[in-house]
């Protein structure tokens, strides 16, 4: 629920005068189309709209904090962005085939990258840095109930993918290293900057449209 996100933002602002790192790591894939109580498709809400709302609710405080010392905002994206397509007039994928949730997931992960890039543009010179990263294929319960992941598990004899600790390592690195060594807005594939992206990831006009559509959605 977006109301939960608003309550979280209020709690953070009340409890902490300073926020050094905001890591938007929550998300997932759902294989059947359904709407949340807020009226949005579950994948786009959990993967994009919720972190968008949390980030924008905290942004004034983050700007204030960044005036004294750098602040970082990090999004967990995915190489799946390569297969995504953002339509600002159809964030819910209502007019597209759902195919077990994979197209919606890929588009949401692309939205993470596009949002990160627009956030970097809007906060340039403020002391805020924004990055997105792909954690790699991690052996976890992600999409475990989908046919694709069931097949992958069988082929890998249950051992396909890296450990959760290895998947988290790029996030820990981006959150803690003194100098990332790449400009704000960079998308990393693991520890490697400039990971492979959909062509839409570099579309500045689309980024502005996504920001506007997301703002309207979370009002």
Q: CA 143 to CA 150: how far, in whole Å? A: 9
Q: CA 166 to CA 111: how far, in whole Å? A: 24
* Tokens found for residue 108: 């949401």
Give yes or no for a contact between 197 and 190, defined as CB atoms under 8 angstroms apart.
no
Q: CA 204 to CA 75: how far, in whole Å? A: 18
Q: Which residues are catalytic?
A: 105
Q: CA 141 to CA 149: how far, in whole Å? A: 9
Beta bridge partners of 130: 73
| HSE-CB for 214 with a 13 A CA cutoff | 28
């Amino acid at each position: 629920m977006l109301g939960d996100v608003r309550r979280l933002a209020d709690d953070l602002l009340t409890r902490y005068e300073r926020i050094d790192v905001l890591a938007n790591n929550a998300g997932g894939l759902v294989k059947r189309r359904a709407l949340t109580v807020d009226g949005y498709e579950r994948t786009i809400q959990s993967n994009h709209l919720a972190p968008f709302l949390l980030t924008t609710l905290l942004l004034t405080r983050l700007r204030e904090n960044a005036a004294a010392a750098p602040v970082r905002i990090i999004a967990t994206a995915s190489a799946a962005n390569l297969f995504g397509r953002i339509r600002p007039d159809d964030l819910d994928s209502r007019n597209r085939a759902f195919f077990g949730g994979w197209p919606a997931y890929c588009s949401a992960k692309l939205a993470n990258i596009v949002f990160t890039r627009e956030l970097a543009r809007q906060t340039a010179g403020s002391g805020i840095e924004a990055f997105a990263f792909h954690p790699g294929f991690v052996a976890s319960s992600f999409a475990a109930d989908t046919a694709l992941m069931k097949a992958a598990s069988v082929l890998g004899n249950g051992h396909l993918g890296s450990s959760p600790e290895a998947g988290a390592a790029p996030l820990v690195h981006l959150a803690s290293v003194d100098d990332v060594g790449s400009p704000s807005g960079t998308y990393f594939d693991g520890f490697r900057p400039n990971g492979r992206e959909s062509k839409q990831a570099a579309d500045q006009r689309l980024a502005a449209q996504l920001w506007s559509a997301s703002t309207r959605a979370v009002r």
